Structure 1
């Protein structure tokens, strides 16, 4: 769990590093060009995806990759790595909200307070202070929130499909279809936007594809086999911690009082939002 928190926590700072020489759509495309073959290998010997499920899985991929991951990359380009890291940590909060809408799960009073606290924290973090404010644009946090919403809805929408075909199969094929949908736009960007293919950018894409996407999914599923889902989900608290530390070391982000206040609000909101009643048919814990 500690290794997974570190692997996933570094994703935003590593993305920020890759964006120094490679544009957003191109970096995202290279990332999933690495990840897709590895994910498809993991599907060998598992239940096959039925043809009638392909449209739903393809739409899921467009939502998760074409909107969620692309918006995240644009968001990271427009924010400091620290701000991007902490806003991306709100994904579980939005999962609770969408689960209430789609899966008809009730939101408790504590969870509602958590949602409000998380939104308040986002507002404080996005306003920034010091050097962090200088590297954060107006639209950057907006892109990050769009990404968090899309990825959260991706997880909730995928529940029915993963119950039928398994998490790895749905994740692999939805990623494949999302990657295919992304290619024309990445090709257009690569043709019109000047960029450099550097070892750092390729290394960032490789880390995101291999470690964050493929190995991260495999390790997460392995953890869930031996650790209760509620305990395993606590990894969400450590991700932003590692991400903020890495941002400070790599980019020299100086953490001010407003940022700390926003982080406290978001993490408190995350803690309250994840405090779900223990019910035998609770699907959120299977995400």
Structure 2
């Protein structure tokens, strides 16, 4: 297998694990309070990542005060905010609908770069954001009642949190390695979520299904998925890697039907089609890149 083919396989597997976070969150929704679910996820993932960090043996870079603040903000938004809002939203929304909304992340991140970083939007960014918006509208069109609307707002809030994480990460003066970044996010995420988890009441031992979902979320997407993505992206170009983010919403929607028995209707089909197309448009090489 060529190095590029290995990259494609690793990236596909990484994004499949991301898609499973929607299913795990759906299992947790309503059975484990959101902050407790978040803190437990990090508590389970931290020993694995600390072991990987020790095995790697890389020296921890010296970070300035600004970078330390950015790390805390990244953990609060991308680690805690994303997980809490996703679990809250899935208590009111089918997993398939959430999968479509999660798929808008690349387009929303591109929009953040324009609005916050002042980057000039190209035609690809404009078309991608428009398609992603159509995808969410397709799901919202069939939403029934205020409960579904609240669920959609929570899941889209999770997307905004993850977009903020990406934006904050770009501001880092001293970037961290893959395992260092994952470990920092999990450790800080645990510290940020633990006080709120204690306020949610006494921790009850989760049911077997919820405990399995927590273990999966902690060990597969959080640890293995992160490493798979970095291993795969090192073997292909940035544009090629971005294309594989389309695998995550496709996996979420497919697993919602297969594992949860959710019916897939026209709205989900149109929504996932528009969102995947938005990702592919955004991943297309620009003219200057293609001409090199």
TM-score tier by shorter-chain length is: 0.7 to 0.9
Q: Report the Cα offset of residue 188 of structure 1.
A: 1.6
C-alpha distance in structure 1 between counterparts of 2:155 and 2:27, whole Å: 17
Q: Report the Cα offset of residue 72 of structure 1.
A: 1.6
Check conservation: 1:4, 1:219, Cα contact below 8 A. Answer: yes
Check conservation: 1:9, 1:243, Cα contact below 8 A. Answer: yes
Counterpart for residue 247 of structure 2: 238
User: Is 1:112 equivalent to 2:126 in the alignment?
Assistant: yes
Please give the residue correspondences for 1:188-267 in structure 2 after superposition, counting only pairs within 5 Å. Answer: 188-191=199-202, 197-267=206-276
Check conservation: 1:80, 1:136, Cα contact below 8 A. Answer: no
Please give the residue correspondences for 1:5-20 in structure 2 after superposition, counting only pairs within 5 Å. Answer: 5-20=15-30
Counterpart for residue 147 of structure 1: 158
C-alpha distance in structure 2 between counterparts of 1:71 and 1:128, whole Å: 21
TM-score normalised by structure 1 residue count:
0.86
Q: Extract unaligned runs of 5+ from structure 1.
A: 281-287
Deviation digits for residues 164-223 of structure 1 (CA, Å, limit 9, x no counterpart): 3334323321331122111111122143xx966211111100100100011111111111
Change (3 A) 1:7 1:261: same
Counterpart for residue 275 of structure 1: 284
Number of residue pairs aligned between Structure 1 and Structure 2: 275
C-alpha distance in structure 2 between counterparts of 1:126 and 1:262, whole Å: 9
| Of 160-169 and 217-226, the range deviating more from structure 2 | 160-169
Check conservation: 1:83, 1:125, Cα contact below 8 A. Answer: yes
Match of 1:72 among 86, 90, 93: 86
Match of 1:86 among 100, 103, 115: 100
Please give the residue correspondences for 1:12-31 in structure 2 after superposition, counting only pairs within 5 Å. Answer: 12-31=22-41
Counterpart for residue 4 of structure 2: none
C-alpha distance in structure 2 between counterparts of 1:58 and 1:279, whole Å: 37
Alpha-carbon RMSD across the aligned residues, in angstroms, is: 2.4
Q: Report the Cα offset of residue 135 of structure 1.
A: 11
C-alpha distance in structure 1 between counterparts of 2:134 and 2:245, whole Å: 19
Match of 1:4 among 14, 31, 34: 14
Check conservation: 2:38, 2:84, Cα contact below 8 A. Answer: yes
User: Does the residue aligned with 1:28 lie in a helix, a strand or coil?
Assistant: helix
Counterpart for residue 137 of structure 1: 148
TM-score normalised by structure 2 residue count:
0.85
Check conservation: 2:34, 2:84, Cα contact below 8 A. Answer: yes
C-alpha distance in structure 1 between counterparts of 2:84 and 2:115, whole Å: 25
